[in-house]
Amino acid sequence: MPFNSIEYLLFFIAVLCVSWLLVGKPQLRILFLSLASYYFYASNNGWLLVLLLGSTAIDYFAAHRIEATGDTRQRKLWLTASLVTNLGMLGVFKYFNFFIGTAQSGASLLGFDLTLPQSHILLPVGISFYTFQSMSYTIDVYSKKLKAERSFIRFAFFVSFFPQLVAGPIVRARYFLHQIPETPRLSMKAFEASLFLIFTGLFKKMVLGDTLGDYADLAFSSPDTTHAFVAWLGLYAFTFQIYFDFSGYTDIAIGCARLLGFRLPPNFRRPYTATSFSEFWRRWHISLSFWLRDYLYKPLGGNRKGDIRAYANLMITMLLGGLWHGANWTFIIWGGLHGLFLAIEKRLGLAKFSRDYHGKPIQRFFRSFIIFNLIVLTWLPFRATDFSHFIAYTKALFHFEQSLSITLGMLLAICIILGALGAQWFGELKSIKRLVLQQPFILRALFYAGIIILIIVFSARGTEPFIYFRF
């Protein structure tokens, strides 16, 4: 039931109405929203509820046992049970075939013929997100940063809350659990701000992202016969396709959650204006980057054990962050490139932030221009289907001998890319959302009407899945 479908629209309207009718009965309201979340998840495939409920139950029970005992060994044992359960589910359902294929390839290089069974189970939607979310809860309880939640229903609601269930943001229990017993409030200002996020999120996905996706798919489909200009434009098109697709999903999720009376953290802050890779990861997929920092990089030692260890920790963190995105060596290459650039920045003292260029707009622009284009290059292995495709497309970036003809699709892609870059930079100066919401009612109405018309027109192509549903 993707956000960009009629089914979701009808589902959300029904849930919204009933949930506000139950405001005076908070326990019943949370139970209803939990059941609605499970229905939302089961609409994709009913058996997946077993995994979601299993992860929820084990982490709920493990956290209580961790909090109840003062024995260090017992606490570590229950934490291990939580981590093994969540990472085990990821390993079996997401990485089993990858590990089997890697083992077979390694054996083949050594001259052995190794045949192992392959799994034919489809990747459970959202498993990477809700396992990380639930796992961070038990880690926080173990670290005594959080008290164990007494109500199983409230904890189950935290894990399964449908707006962010399948593609984030990855919400911390410390951020969300305290909101559950609060009486929800929704002012007219917050109501319109939520609608703005939902409409613009759909616009990003269905009008801009899917349009660029059509061109990117075409460019990546035949790299061996692609002119360099087409290949570069396809790479830039994907760069903004994935931004519009994922940030559009996040906007819709935040808007829907706010209409239901809950706040979700931001996940994007104009990432393509970053002045370093360090700042990029403070602006792109914020909930994941901070999760990796707090639950992987710091426990590995962070930068507390010398520079060499810090560089190694950065590489390990980003390699595993790449693997989190998918069971493919191309994602590991993508994570490795980001880890390498982060380590180089740290070594050379180049981990600059926008605030470091206050009063220096020209220097900041050129710095951001360089970082942006390096980030574009890192998206190549992310988009490639496998290593051979990655190599073929890399070569296509230098194929100038192929014939070239300018098409309407290319011109449209160029216009969207340039417009998107301009909008990101304008957003650094003034909030576009605040600018729109400050306008007179008639202008705001025309703005929403225009967006709705464009969404309806572009929806004729059909419902395209969100990219991050694959992860």
Angle among Cα 230, 234, 238 to the nearest 5 degrees reads: 175
Q: What CA–CA distance (Å, rounded) separates 74 from 57? A: 18
Contact 219, 187 (CB under 8 A): no
Cα 82 to chain centroid distance, Å, stands at 23
Torsion, Cα 324 328 330 333, to 10 degrees, reads: 50
Neighbours of 421 (CB within 10 A): 17
Buried b (16+ CB within 10 A) or exposed e, 91-107: eebbbbbbebeeebeee
Report the alpha-carbon distance of residue 107 to residue 126 in Å, rounded: 32
Q: How far apart are CA 433 and CA 93, in angstroms?
A: 40
Q: 414 CB contacts (<8 Å, ≥6 apart)?
A: 233
Q: Which residue has the tokens 């930068």?
A: 303
What DSSP string describes 251-313? HHHHHHHHHTT-------S-GGG-SSHHHHTTTSSHHHHHHHIIIIITTTTTTTT-HHHHHHH
Q: Of 325, 358, 389, 399, which is the active-site residue?
A: 325
The dihedral through the CA atoms of 177, 254, 238, 434 has a sign that is negative
Q: Catalytic residue at 325?
A: yes
Give the whole-angstrom CA distance, residue 317 versus residue 367: 25
**Enzyme catalytic residues:** 325
